[in-house]
Amino acid sequence: MRGSPVSRRAAQRFRQLAFLSAGSVKVKLLLGFCIFFTLILLVFRASTFIQWTHHYNSIDQSDLHRKGYTLLINTWKRNDLLKKSISHYAACLLLESIHIVWSEPDPPSESLNRYLQHIVKAYSKNGRKIELEFDTNTKDSLNNRFKEIKNLKTDVVFSIDDDVIFPCSSVEVAYSVWQSAPDTMVGFVPRMHWLDQSRGNMDHYTYGGWWSVWWTGTYSMVLSKAAFFHKKYLAMYTNEFPASLREYIAHNRNCEDIAMSFLVANATGAPPIWVKGKIFEIGSTGISSLGGHSQKRTECINRFVLQFGKMPLVSTSMKVVDSRDTWFW
């Protein structure tokens, strides 16, 4: 016997409510998951933002007996930025020594030297001693940052500008990558050169900035504003790199970083290695923000190619990421 219309309507209404209730639970679960994931992501991003000021111990203590690296920092009349940079990098556990490339007309003041020496002394504990030296130059030249340093304490230098800071964890990853390929340049700031197709068969090249790298995923240089390389390249730059090109760099006040990329690529026949890392720019804009910067660097590349008699730069699309701090890679 079939039920009454009232009972059938009640049953139908009950099923509708049950369906809506189940759907509501699913929506709530989905929203809850999204909110939880977003909060986790925000916490992760916030932690990476403060890493450069709060170094965390990500190194196996058994590695500390190995030779570390020398910080080779280029500066020019920005003592406040220099102090911030030294204060940060002195906390990096594998740092062995610091060489400050000083090209100002006046020597570093006693108060600045005392301040920086006090910083490195504060981190020189448990048998670790960080050495700090000013490499003073009588002449202001971009070539000064690559002058040979006698009796360097380590085999590798970490070349850095005074207005950029990377977390110690990122620096340690780049250093470990360099150890696996010690003849290669390993750095954080990739750039590219391109063959100018509009010139027909002429070997004319153009300079590709960051957006060119971002769009194509290809690079052939890592800039010396943040890069590891073997100390032998300082000697090669000083003693073997064509003097005419060093004069060209000094006169134009540009492209010393491209020159180092040419030198290393010519010696190895291999591409550099780009390490992805968080970069914190603590200074004002530099020469790269000036008008005509890319054109000047295009001119440099073609001048270097003419002098070398070939294009030594090798392009690659390989990128190193630290999987410990990466969700998607």
Catalytically annotated residues: 257
Local structure of residue 4 (DSSP, 8 states): P
Q: How many CB atoms lie within 10 A of CB 36?
A: 10
For 28: left if phi > 0, alpha if psi spans -120 to 50, otherwise beta; the answer is alpha
Do the Cβ atoms of 143 and 249 come closer than 8 Å?
A: yes
CA distance 329 to 319: 10
Local structure of residue 316 (DSSP, 8 states): B
Query: Tokens at residue 207, please?
Result: 């300079």
Q: How many CB atoms lie within 10 A of CB 235?
A: 16
Residue 172, H or E segment: helix 168-180
Q: Which residues neighbour 7 within 8 Å (Cβ) at sequence distance 6 or greater? A: none
Partners of 207 in beta bridges: 193
